[in-house]
Each structure stands twice: as structure tokens, then as C-alpha cells.
Amino acid sequence: MHLVRSARISTISEESDLPRGYERSSSVVFGSGEYGASMSDGDHPKGGDGSAESEKKQLREQAQRYAAAARLKMKERRAKSSGGLTAVVAERAGGWDLDDQDTVAMDRQQRLWNGVMDRYFRMEIDGWETIPESPVLVVGVHSGAPFVWDAWTVGAQWWRHFGEARVLHGTAHDALMAFPLIGKVFRSMGVLPAAPDSMSTALAEGRDVIVWPGGEVDSLRPWSKRDEATLGGRTGFVKLAIRMGVPIVPVATVGGADAMPVLVRGDTLSKVLKLDKIARLKVFPIAISLPWIIAPAALPQIPLPAKIRTRFMPPIELDHDPTLCEDEAYVDAKYEEVRASIQAGMDALARKRKFPVFG
């Protein structure tokens, strides 16, 4: 079992564990609403006998406390969003619910996804035996511009393998979650905004979550760097795993970049169009795609018939003492451990290629 990583588990009476800006009092409400929780001093766990069950309970309480604090903090942040498009994106992306996933629709779609994965992308996936019991934080890289087929196929493969018995919540950029039609489809597939409140709540409820820390820096990297594990230097996922008391499962994948090869990232163009301020997009890539041949990657497109290979790597254990989130050396070391694991998996999968592209 991979439930507990360390005996150094903070109880919820520790003020230093709260996110910045949150102070303890004799009775503090850390969240409200559907997933809210109220905790007073009398609710704090008093420690346990050191058994696995006791530590598991303390980790769950720690996770629930952080999830509640994250919901409150994100609610305040979204409320302070300035007017215009930025405020609209923040409001729409914030309207998430763990029960938005339509499992009936997922089952209906599975036949289509099976054809896409098995015939069009000829997908190979392994490493299922390395995944610990729920909850886990799956961390990976994705590519192929905005339509990240390697990410979607991981989610579809997970559903085919586990079904409704073990839900995996994908994560997506606020701009995608806020878009009327796309956002609705994403929510029906269990996708959550890539934000602290939604991800921590899912993990606190015992569900699995997959994140792509590199974001657009990763998914829109040039095709020439397709086999490089890029997490963008973003260490938030390590801190999330520490606070939520879960292991990290790295997932390596290659081939997705061939579905829509990115020629240029378009950093300058994004600044000229002010997309970095309007939609938090720092790049505006140009890619090879069908039927456009060469065009902005954001246009609707037909993916090229890439060969996608994916592998779940062995889980990475963490100490779940929340004070370690302030230890840059520890966080950076775990970040690099995850990145190196993904890179090792990508290197091994890339060596399986029979042809430079599509093979």
C-alpha cells in the first residue's frame, strides 16, 4: 500500500500550514458551499498511535483542510478579477463540480475512443501495475498544440481500464474551461480547471487527478523538442502532493507531437495580440495541420496519424509534512525526480520508433 509516506504529518492545529493570508482563531471556517468544511479547535486530530490507519486519517484531515482553504482563497481571487474578458473567464472556469462528469456519456463515447486509440493512433500503453491505490496525483507532459491527443488518450485509456470504479479527473486551462461548448464537453468528461481549489478538492475526496504542469510551454513546444520532458519549472504540483498526502505517478508519452507538429511557438505574436493578459496565453503557435497545412494551431484541425506510446512510471514518494512546501531544496529535488522519471520513460519509448515520424 502507498497510503502514507512519513510519520511527520502535521495536525490541523498548526498555524504555519495554512496558505499565506489565512490566520487561525479559536474557531475558523475554512470553506463553505457544496464542498465546504468548518473546523474548530475541538475538531483537530490529537495524533494517533502511529498505525497506518491513524496516519491515513490524519492525512485525509490535512487534505480536507487544505482543500477548504484553497476553495476560499480561489473564490476571493476570482471575486477580485477585473472586468472584461478576464473576469468572464475567471467566473466561468470557477463553476466546477466533482459530479459534472457524465459517466453514461463516457460509456457511450468509449467505442469511438477505442477506434481512435487502437486504429488511428495505434496507441501502446503500459505500467498499470505501478499505480498505487487512490488517490494519486498523476503528472505528465503533453503535446500537439491545443488539441493534446496524448493527454486525451491517457484519460480514455484510464476509463477503459478502470471505468467508473476509479475516476481520473483531467485538468485544463481556464480559457478552455470557460469556453461555452468546449467547457461543457470537458466537464462532462470529468475535466477540472487546473486550479488549486478544484484539484485539491478532488484529491481530498479520494479521487485521482492528472496534471500537466508545463501547460502551454509544454504542449506548444517546437516539434524539434518533442521528446524533451518539459514541466516549465512549475513546482506547484509537488507542493500539492505534499499537502494532500498523495504519491506522484509520473506518466511518459511520445508521439503526440506528430499529430500536429508545432513549427514556431509565437511568443512575440502572443504579446502583440495581448493574449498573455487576456487569456493567460504566452504563446501563439504556428503548426502543420490538416486541412490548413500551415496555420495557427488554435484553428480546428484533423490530427495527423501519429503513433502514441505511453507509460506509467513507478510512483514517487514524498514526505507529507506541509512545512516542506517552504523548503525550496526539497521541492526542487522532488520536481527534478519527477521530471527525470518522465524523461527516462520518454527516452525508452522513443527508442521504440521504427520511423522518425508516425512510427
In the structure, what pLDDT confidence band is assigned to residue 220 with cuts at 50, 70 and 90?
confident
SS (H, E, C) 176-215: HHHCHHHHHHHHHCCCEECCHHHHHHHHHCCCEEEECCCH
Q: What is the pLDDT of residues 175-206, one digit of tens each?
A: 777 777 777 888 888 888 888 889 999 999 99
Q: Flag whether pLDDT at 55 surpasses 90.
A: no
Give the Cα separation of 62 and 204 in Å (integer). 9
Q: Flag whether pLDDT at 48 surpasses 50.
A: no
pLDDT at 284: 80
pLDDT at 358: 76
Helices then strands, each counted (H, E), the chain: 12, 13
Amino acid letter at 18? L
Q: Flag whether pLDDT at 313 surpasses 80.
A: yes
From 302, 268, 300, 303, select the one nearest 284 (Cα to Cα): 268
Q: Provide CB contacts within 8 A for 221, sequence distance 6+.
A: 143, 214, 228, 230, 257, 262, 265
**Whether 304 contacts 145, CB under 8 Å:** no
Angle at 193 (CA atoms; ends 247, 2), nearest 5 degrees: 10
337 vs 94 pLDDT, higher one: 337
Q: What is the rounded end-to-end Cα distance, in angstroms, of the chain?
A: 37
From 230, 236, 169, 168, select the one nearest 196 (Cα to Cα): 236
Q: Flag whether pLDDT at 314 surpasses 80.
A: yes
pLDDT at 12: 31
* Spacing of C-alpha 53 from chain mean position: 27
pTM: 0.78
Q: What is the pLDDT of residues 121-169, one digit of tens each?
A: 999 999 999 999 999 999 999 987 667 889 989 999 999 999 999 999 9
In the structure, what pLDDT confidence band is assigned to residue 357 with cuts at 50, 70 and 90?
confident
